[in-house]
Structure 1
Amino acid sequence: MTTSQSFIFNKPTKFEYLGPPDLKGVEHFLQVLMRDRNKVFQESSSIIKTTVLFVLDEQNHKELYAEQYTIQFSEDLTEMKVTAADELGIIFGILHISESYLGVDQFWFWNDCEPSCKEVVEITPVPFLSEIPKVRYRGWFVNDEVLISMWNYKDSNEVVWEMVFEALLRCKGNMVIPGTDIENPVYKKLATSMGLWVTHHHAEPLGAQMFARVFPDKRASYIEHKDLFQQLWKDAILEQKDAKIVWNIGFRGQGDRPFWIDDPTFDTDEKRGALISQIMRDQYEMIAEYQKDPICCVNLYGEITELYKEGLLELPDGVIKIWADSGYGKMVTRRQGTHNPRVPSLPTKNEEGPHGIYYHVTFYDLQASNHLTMLPNTTTFVNDELVEAFEHEMNEFLIVNCGNIRPHLYFLDAISDIWTHGELNSEEFLNRFVSKYYPSFPGEMKDYMTDYFDAIIQYGVFDDERAGEQFYHFTIRKLAKQWISSLGKESAPNLFWATGEMNLENQFNWFKTKVEEKLPEWERLLENVKALVGEGNHIDQKRVHDQFLIQVQIHKNGCKALLSFSHAFEKFQREEFLDAFLLVDDAMEEIKETVEMMERTTSQKWDGFYHNDCLTNVSLTFYTLETIRRYLRMLGDGPSFYEWEKRYLTSVAESSVVLLTNKTKQLMDDELVQRLKV
């Protein structure tokens, strides 16, 4: 039953657009709106014909801010008019209708939540003016994207990236770094065709090709090959000059590291700062030849922050200074190796701007970061850090390292609230999140998500130093390498970042203490979440399985594997090689469980999503443990590889009479360990 006091939105409702032609972003999202309308609406019996009119009118609507839109209704309620002064304003208006009236969730694709079907939507004709987001340029850096770069949806990887950019725009983001290194140019055109601003990786100034890739036979020295560097930059400028670009200027090196590592000529901070300052001036002048009043930014990242704080960098006027967090959400410089200066990544409150933020909800540092699992800090922590940054006028720019999207939806959702409204009430956000995605059991999921963050290992003295899943996997692999290469006698220097300088035995004990303390919490949480999922096939249970249970499983398995591995080393030191062999197998079983969980999906859609897990690389941890297991058998059962079988698996009568060394082929490790455990 419809009412004459409402605007009727149903399947026959038409969409019309008035404005500049050939705006690909508007064209794309009008198609998205038609897709959503056809998903939601059944055939309608209503005889009322209505139209949604989108008007892009830059000249007559100068009172609207960039990206702002209005919604108004005709007196006879046959027309809804969405008006904006720019392309992104129209796109955000389209997505507002999709979400607010059709019920399409911002993460509908990534979280498997399709809108419910209906015959008609009645819209109360109240004029609407969209709010102005807290942050001017806000978006995602699709970085370390090894899962989505190798995964297809509907036999297409490009569709996957379309879904990335659509989700970003639904989160009210307007800017993207569309992938890392060689992935970036592939999807840059797609991002711009969907209306997004594009900016660049901090190691890829101006979005240009890497010097070492184009000129592999030449030393990547700006002093020696200034003309070649500038040609690469000019090519990048010409390619992008007609797009919406926030130009990243600066100079780091060939890869994600300082240039002076490869060019020892620059052996003082003064020399390094002078060269970077000159390069930034050159780059800015090159861009200004092709774009009037270009928008530029520079990443004060890692070692660059230290140079800036020392007063050794000179920036062109108006350049956005982007300050980076630690990788774990704290606004201090990141740890690199054992170098951990923790220089505050905040300008002084009277320091000339504009300023922005590079923030991580996922990180990759080969130490303790999170790649397959959520940021190990809380939304309260994230909110406090970003709100403090905003108090320092750091709201011109916010780029969030979003990884492979799906494991990080919780924090991407939270930050979209923060960059829109300026702050987040974490309790309200958690309630809203669990009610939206787990409506069958919001109370339980609220408790379990709280338990998840309580169970995280605090590995350092600072509040952000909390462990993602790489804490287990990289530690096992580094300890294993040192165990074998030094025969268990020499410490692992690449773990001094965590333990400080100590011998290998004490390093094992340090990690054992950390995991021993938190393992019971992970085990208890895992059992609770498994009971919630059960054998059910409800969409809520599938979502818990695919989005939450897997992350709990990764932490619990990693935690227990590292504990068993540490106990195995203790047995090895006492030359109790069989016990050590069995304990390493226990660790392998834990890691194997994670591998199987990552391969097991609840729907065909997600088959293969984790296949290219090459950064945490859970399978490599299994391989490493298998190597240690072989090593222990070599020590305790070699060279005949029959002693353990004869001693523990053969009858006393048979083993005491030896006419032949053995009557059957030696058992391989898997079969031997299974029989020994029985």
Structure 2
Amino acid sequence: MDFMLSRATRVTAQWASAPVQHAVARFWRDMEMTLSTTGFVPDNRLMICLAPALPPESYTLDVTENQLTLCAADDLGAVYGLLDISRHYLGVTPFWFWNQQQFEPKPFATVPEGRITGPAAAVGLRGWDLSDAPWLSAWADATENGWEMIFESLLRYRGNMVRTDKQADLAAAMGLRPVQNPQTPLGAAPQQAAAENPEERHKIWQDSIRTLKTSPRIWALGIDGMGGDPDGTASTAALQEQWQLLNATVPGAVAYILLQGETVALYQEGKLKIPDSVIPVLTPAPSASSAGGPGPGAQHGLWFSLCRRDKLTGNPMTAYPGGDTAVNGMLQGAWRGGVRSFWMVGTGDLRPSLMELNLTGALWCTPDTDCAAQRTAYLRCTYRAPDGWALTDSALEDLSVCLRARAESAVQAGSPPQPVGEAFLTRSTRLFASAWLCGKTQGPIQELAALLPAESYAEQLAAYQQLCTSALENYETLLPGCSYAGRATTPLWQEQVVFSVRLYLYALRGAVRFCTAREQFLDKDWQNCFCTLGRAADDFGAMAALLQPKTGFWAGFCSDTMLDGALTARVLTGLMAIPRAAGDGPDYAAWQAPLPGAPAAPVPDFTLYRALVQAETKKV
């Protein structure tokens, strides 16, 4: 007969490691959230047994009428087993906390009789990089159990490692392996940089290893100046020495080396030799044709971020440019190329990337996961009807169409064209506006050369205008479409998806209006240029206002400092002085004279802009 899981079920374990204790406490909390006190079923239990013969991180669950027997290979096998019971039978989704999942307690949950197996994940080491998440980190520091909720989410997706600058001890206690910072290999980078002779460097490495050896971790190897070693000989020798020291002090240690810049070419050309047991990790993610190195069968890793924070192409507040389809193509391509030992995913501040993180969690367990099916499953468990019922298949398809359209509508720049984040719109507009203010409108802006190659400022701005205008046409349709599609669900859709569409749309409007203002200026249409710049400033101001929420999903998780929309608005406001000087100077009274109640003295630019727009609106 089936097992009836209730609040009366006893949970016992054969061993009491910290990860198992955390897992049992978490399982009890899940039962308290999802089960009522009215369905006690006496005399049954969930027994957690150690079964070292099973593959690492796996488990089996044998179900009889009176007992659930969870046999786990190790700590993580037990952790994953309890979390899977919680997910499949109690209905607790991996991102239940972040997506504000609501529970209606029931008397008991039924687990069908028989044997259930929980195999190990396909990718060996799987985790999140939380080191570039300023708002998430600040929230977690200020929130009771904040870091625990983050690590719990990773465990629910079968993660087993984490890169974090905070609370690494808590992560280890919950079963995750902290990953050493690639910028501080062996924990000794600052001293290492100052050590010039081999003996001193050897001692620094050895002392660092001995200091850190008692704490479980994934070690980072690497040395300063690897890119300046053209034949790779010195770097190879240093890496071999690091590995020998580490392996002698911490037998069986797991280590990786992050390859970037010139070191990638050295490795792919076979000049940089990496010890066989050390995982070479590349960023961005290598594909089937670009992993390089020793060849088929060699272990490789990838390190990529769903959130780019660079000023020119970053997406700190929206989903990964290109959406889940782009993430799926990249990761499945990496898997086919033999990149199967180490997947590290940068989360950014987590909340903008929940759906993509859900996909990566599925892919590192089952690499042939169907992206569209995974998206639908995520939508089904995340977005419910206002009355709590599941959405219809038709409503789910409407939401899925919106997400695909959002990814396909983003601006694509560079060669070959790649989707870029919202930072491209604020930064590029500010660069063009600043050049205009300074009178530097002959040659192209060098900072934009890779994304907008051109021979002149005018040619570069025209390319920018074309990209933004095309995207704007799509987004003007996308916003009402997403709002309408979300009518069947709770406000969470509006707070997550519609918010990101609105943010990108405001930036697009501002960018296109700026380009239009430049055309009007060249046509000596001074007053329209003046007003169009004002409207562009309003657009970027509206974007900045979106990033100052006091309540709701984004409260405490964002700020305009990420994108500087308000700064862009101020630059455009300052630029308004140029067309006004050309068309209204030197007396600065002609444009305001026809306005009702116009003062005799000249008014500030933005005050005049508001009055002109108001007068035009009244005419209409």
Length-normalised TM-score, structure 1: 0.82
**CA–CA distance in structure 2, aligned partners of residues 313 and 622 of structure 1:** 49
3-state SS of the aligned residue for 2:302?
strand
**Contact 2:281–2:303 under 8 Å retained in 1:** yes
**Contact 1:12–1:44 under 8 Å retained in 2:** no
**Contact 1:322–1:355 under 8 Å retained in 2:** yes
Partner of 1:166: 152
Q: CA deviation at 1:383?
A: 2.9
Distance change in 2, residues 1:303/1:482 (3 Å): farther
3-state SS of the aligned residue for 2:420?
coil
Q: Does 1:199 align with 2:179?
A: yes
1:182-212 deviation per Cα after TM superposition (whole angstroms, max 9, x unaligned): xx1x22222212110122343332345x52x
**CA–CA distance in structure 1, aligned partners of residues 336 and 375 of structure 2:** 24
Match for residue 482 of structure 2 among 524, 529, 537: 529
5+ unaligned residues in a row in structure 1: which ranges? Answer: 179-183, 254-258, 261-265, 333-343, 655-661
3-state SS of the aligned residue for 2:319?
coil
Q: Does 1:243 align with 2:215?
A: yes
Distance change in 2, residues 1:668/1:32 (3 Å): farther
Partner of 1:325: 284
Partner of 2:405: 451
Q: CA deviation at 1:399?
A: 0.9
Counterparts of 1:71-110 in structure 2, within 5 Å, are 71-74=61-64, 77-110=65-98
Q: Does 1:618 align with 2:565?
A: yes
Match for residue 470 of structure 1 among 420, 423, 438: 423
Counterparts of 1:231-630 in structure 2, within 5 Å, are 233-234=205-206, 236-251=208-223, 266=228, 269-270=230-231, 273-325=232-284, 331=287, 345-347=290-292, 350-351=295-296, 353-439=298-384, 440=391, 441-462=395-416, 465-533=418-486, 540-600=489-549, 603=552, 606-611=554-559, 613-629=560-576
Q: CA deviation at 1:546?
A: 1.7
**CA–CA distance in structure 2, aligned partners of residues 607 and 279 of structure 1:** 47
Q: Which amino acid aligns with 2:409?
A: A
Q: Which amino acid aligns with 1:499?
A: L
Counterparts of 1:663-674 in structure 2, within 5 Å, are 663-664=600-601, 666-674=602-610
3-state SS of the aligned residue for 1:376?
coil
3-state SS of the aligned residue for 2:430?
helix
Partner of 1:658: none
Q: Which amino acid aligns with 2:334?
A: A
1:339-397 deviation per Cα after TM superposition (whole angstroms, max 9, x unaligned): xxxxx631378346221222332223333232211122243443333333223322111
Distance change in 2, residues 1:165/1:617 (3 Å): farther
Q: Which amino acid aligns with 2:13?
A: Y
1:283-326 deviation per Cα after TM superposition (whole angstroms, max 9, x unaligned): 22332243102211112223321221233312122111112226
1:492-541 deviation per Cα after TM superposition (whole angstroms, max 9, x unaligned): 1010011224211111111000111121110111012233456xxx8x33
**Contact 1:347–1:392 under 8 Å retained in 2:** no
**CA–CA distance in structure 1, aligned partners of residues 204 and 97 of structure 2:** 37
Partner of 1:256: none
Q: Does 1:13 align with 2:9?
A: yes
Q: Which amino acid aligns with 2:283?
A: A
Q: Which amino acid aligns with 1:299?
A: L
Q: Does 1:144 align with 2:132?
A: yes
Distance change in 2, residues 1:649/1:147 (3 Å): same
Q: Which amino acid aligns with 1:621?
A: T
**CA–CA distance in structure 1, aligned partners of residues 435 and 206 of structure 2:** 47
Instruction: Count matched residues.
Output: 605
**Range moving further from structure 2, 408-417 or 427-436:** 427-436
**CA–CA distance in structure 2, aligned partners of residues 269 and 635 of structure 1:** 57
Q: Does 1:676 align with 2:616?
A: no
**CA–CA distance in structure 1, aligned partners of residues 305 and 113 of structure 2:** 41
3-state SS of the aligned residue for 2:291?
coil
Q: CA deviation at 1:428?
A: 1.5
3-state SS of the aligned residue for 1:547?
helix
Q: Which amino acid aligns with 2:56?
A: A
5+ unaligned residues in a row in structure 2: which ranges? Answer: 385-390, 615-620
Match for residue 47 of structure 2 among 36, 53, 68: 53
Q: CA deviation at 1:149?
A: 2.2
3-state SS of the aligned residue for 1:139?
strand
**Contact 1:532–1:541 under 8 Å retained in 2:** no
Q: CA deviation at 1:248?
A: 1.6
**Contact 1:64–1:84 under 8 Å retained in 2:** yes
**CA–CA distance in structure 2, aligned partners of residues 462 and 421 of structure 1:** 30
Distance change in 2, residues 1:489/1:88 (3 Å): same
Q: CA deviation at 1:236?
A: 4.8
Distance change in 2, residues 1:572/1:394 (3 Å): same
Distance change in 2, residues 1:204/1:614 (3 Å): farther
**CA–CA distance in structure 1, aligned partners of residues 507 and 71 of structure 2:** 52
Q: Which amino acid aligns with 1:515?
A: C
Partner of 1:337: none
**Contact 1:73–1:81 under 8 Å retained in 2:** yes
Percent identity of equivalent pairs: 23
**CA–CA distance in structure 1, aligned partners of residues 180 and 435 of structure 2:** 38
**Contact 1:325–1:331 under 8 Å retained in 2:** no
**CA–CA distance in structure 2, aligned partners of residues 571 and 226 of structure 1:** 65
Q: Does 1:35 align with 2:17?
A: no
Q: Does 1:175 align with 2:120?
A: no
3-state SS of the aligned residue for 2:249?
coil
Partner of 2:595: 649
**CA–CA distance in structure 1, aligned partners of residues 88 and 478 of structure 2:** 35
Partner of 2:106: 118
**CA–CA distance in structure 1, aligned partners of residues 584 and 45 of structure 2:** 80
Partner of 2:617: none
Distance change in 2, residues 1:350/1:637 (3 Å): same
Q: CA deviation at 1:472?
A: 0.9
